[in-house]
Amino acid sequence: MTRALPTLRTAILGFAIGAAGLCGRGAEPASPADVRRTLDEARQQLDDGRPAKAKSLLATACADIASLAALERVPSGVRPLVERCMQLKDDLDLEGVDVSSIEIPEIPVVKASRPDPTRPAALPGKPAVRPAAGISFTRQVAPLLVTHCGGCHVTGRKGGFQMTSYDGLMKTGVVQRGVGDSSRLVEVIATGDMPRGGGKVAAQDLTLLVGWINAGAVFDGPDPLAPLGQAGGVPAAANASMAPAAATAAVAAVALKPGDVSFAFEIAPVLLKNCAGCHDDDDPEARLSMHTFARFVRGGESGAAFVGGRAADSLLVRKIKGVSGIEGQRMPIGKPPLASDLIALIEKWIDQGARLDMLGPNATLADLAAAGRARSLSHDELKVARFAAGEKLWRRALADEQAATARLDDVIVIGNLPQSRLDEAAGTVEAAAAAIRKQLIDGDGPLLKGGVACLLFAKAYDYSNFRQAILGEERPKGLTGNAGVSGDVAYGAVIVPARSDADGDDDLAALTAEQIAAAAFTGRGAPAWFAQGAGRTVAAKVAPKAAVAKAWKTETAEALGRLAAPEDFFAGHAGPVAQAAIGGGFVSAIAPSPVKLRALVAKLDDGAAFDTAFADVFKSPPQALFAAWAAKEARKPARR
């Protein structure tokens, strides 16, 4: 068998090159950049309504990838192209195009460095990893990124891409843990595409970067949200402006006492109106971002913006008052000074401890302000605001796609379906929402104060465009929807599946129930991992006969098997598809009946922070329960 392998490899290579030659490429295999351009053109053809042309280009791309996969050393960056082919094939299939003749090539697996079995946070039976060969993110990798990428993608946002921190870098998706050669970050450097402007990353630096990713892309600093320059261990003397002084810790939201100032309701709207234009997430002035509460807490070039309990000593107060001796101008620049009562309100909030009272430290100020408004309005008043915001959200994401709407009791349905089909789908959504309400709500209360917007997309690429416009990210392969909060609207977004005579709209019932239930928890301040898991748990009870609900049962073990460490799940680094699969299994295990989910909803509606409510209901923090559940799952025999 071993002696026959070169012959087989040669045969595959000859076939692949021949297929590429039919497309005019000649005898040389295409480069990864060629394949990327082919896939870009295929996606454009599909978006322009020419699926047959897109299919032809996909076939060409697959033949080119097969030629690259047959080489003795597969070039870096090929594996992500396979993922793009799979996603494009799925989208063509959703469009009704017969793609059964297209075979997606397989790429040989590159084994990662052996993990260190001593790391305590590893999943049972699967040790997590530490930096191999002493590679440190804070001391080696971060300075490398700041040096070569900082001007465009750390302090700037060229091409819509920015990595302000370790957490921000990982959320971009350009790093695939354990597979350095297949990570997009390595690909663009190895091909010379980056850095732009004539710079070049030395071979030893690229080797260091690949080694760090192969070892699990582990963070070894105190704060994964710290600015990249600060996290990178750059000497303080050389980089003093990058290291703000310690500020109030960005802890979980707390309940307020009567007389306490609400950051969400009273402070966030003032900052959004007067400060966010200069201190947003896109190249903020003086490196002070107010995009999220956590970034606001961290401060900027001049240090901490405020110190809890000490308003008079806080830079924010000194700047908005324009006191003598401050560096620079009084804030806000170019606007009238803040009214004295607003300054007094900010001072009072800081003197009371500068506490966050809703959602969490990573929530945007816009979402915090919306949550504060929601608390002050009645259900009917908020429903008007939420439904209007849902329609506005659709127009912002898909301005050229005319949407039909159906207003139900607690849900507004918005979608680019023919009105007759949307009305049918709305009936399915209405029944699903009623069933969800029975699962989650005791008494006559609403599914969520102000209701939920259910966004239905006729085509997969419509949903892809929505994610790009609203979330600023590509749709991962296999993802058919998500739930979220954007300003005043809590929404669940779903690609409408094709109906069959056998199951009618069972799959639509399951998918919409999953996202509407997730939106009900997200709108109450639950973290994404729990909202996704609870959404899937509830949906499996609402539509147990749906084909997708049956498929969910087999996905948990596979996704859990690919998880390196529990913190990846809780931090969202597992990816939305795996997070929903793992979360569904975990929440189903700890809440097999609706009783505990109802109790959790009741506590959240009473104003409890999620962590407090979870501990009260489940009698343990989620990390401990997850570890016990994962250990139990690891002992189960593998499914055949």
Q: Which of 581, 589, 591 is nearest to 617 (CA)?
A: 591
Q: CA torsion 614→615→617→622, rounded to 10°?
A: 60
**pLDDT given at position 499:** 79
Q: What is the pLDDT of residue 239?
A: 37
Q: How far, in Å, CA of 535 to CA of 522, rounded?
A: 10
Q: Say how far apart CA 299 and CA 565 lie, in whole Å.
A: 30
> Would you say 481 and 508 are in contact if contact means Cβ atoms under 8 Å apart?
no
* Res 457: pLDDT: 97
Q: For 317-360, how does the pLDDT look when each residue is reduced to its tens digit (9 = 90+)?
A: 988 988 766 666 788 887 888 999 999 999 999 999 888 888 77
Residue 473 is encoded by which pair of tokens? Answer: 């990210």
pLDDT of residue 176: 77
pTM greater than 0.85: no
CB 588 within 8 A of CB 151: no
What DSSP string runs through 257-278? PTTPPPIIIIIHHHHHHHTTTT
Query: 553 Cβ partners below 8 Å, 6+ apart?
Result: 540
The burial class, CB within 10 Å (0-12 / 13-18 / 19+), for 114 is: exposed
- Give the strand order in the sheet containing 411-415: 404-407, 411-415, 452-457, 489-495, 481-486
- Are residues 276 and 365 in contact, defined by beta-carbon separation less than 8 angstroms? yes
DSSP state of 178: T
Which distant-in-sequence residues (6+ apart) come within 8 Å of 190 by Cβ? 76, 77, 206
Enumerate helices (H) and strands (E) in the chain, giving the number of each.
Answer: 25, 5
| 3-state SS track over 221-253 | CCCCCCEHHHHCCCCCCCCHHHCCCCCCCCCCC
pLDDT of res. 436: 97
Return mean pLDDT, the chain: 81
Nearest partner of 598 among 613, 611, 609, 612, judged by Cα = 613
Verify cis geometry, omega within 30 degrees of 0, for the bond prior to 336: no
* Mean pLDDT, contiguous 10-residue spans, the chain (640 residues): 35 38 52 86 86 93 89 73 82 82 77 38 48 70 82 68 79 77 81 71 86 83 70 38 42 79 90 84 78 83 83 88 74 86 93 85 84 88 93 93 92 95 95 96 92 96 91 85 92 90 81 97 92 97 93 90 83 86 96 95 89 93 93 76
Position 110 scores a pLDDT of 47
Pairing of strands 452-457, 411-415: parallel
| Burial of residue 339 (number of CB atoms within 10 Å: 0-12, 13-18, 19+) | exposed
pLDDT in tens, 626-637: 999 999 988 887
> Which amino acid type is present at position 290?
M
The span from the CA of 525 to the CA of 76, in Å, is 40
| Nearest Cα to Cα of residue 528 among 515, 538, 539, 540 | 515
- Decide: residue 258, CB within 10 A, 0-12 exposed, 13-18 middle, 19+ buried: exposed
Q: Going by C-beta distance under 8 Å and a sequence separation of 6 or more, which residues neighbour residue 346?
A: 267, 270, 311, 316, 317, 320, 338
Q: How do 404-407 and 489-495 pair as beta strands?
A: unpaired
- Record the tokens describing residue 93, joined without a space: 């299939």
Q: Which residues of 317-332 are buried (b: 16+ CB within 10 A; e: fewer)?
A: bbbbbeeeeeeeeebb
C-alpha 523/C-alpha 536 separation (Å) is 16
Residues 570, 622 contacting (CB under 8 angstroms): yes
Alpha helices in 23-150 (DSSP H): 32-47, 51-69, 78-94, 142-149
The 3-state DSSP composition of the chain as helix, strand, coil percent (nearest 5) reads 55, 5, 40
**pLDDT for 176-224, tens place per residue?**
777 787 788 888 888 777 786 656 788 888 888 988 888 878 887 777 7
CA angle 574-596-638, nearest 5°? 45
Structure token pair of residue 286: 């003086």
DSSP state of 375: H
Asked, as a colleague might, if the bond just before 195 is cis with ω within 30 of 0, I would say yes
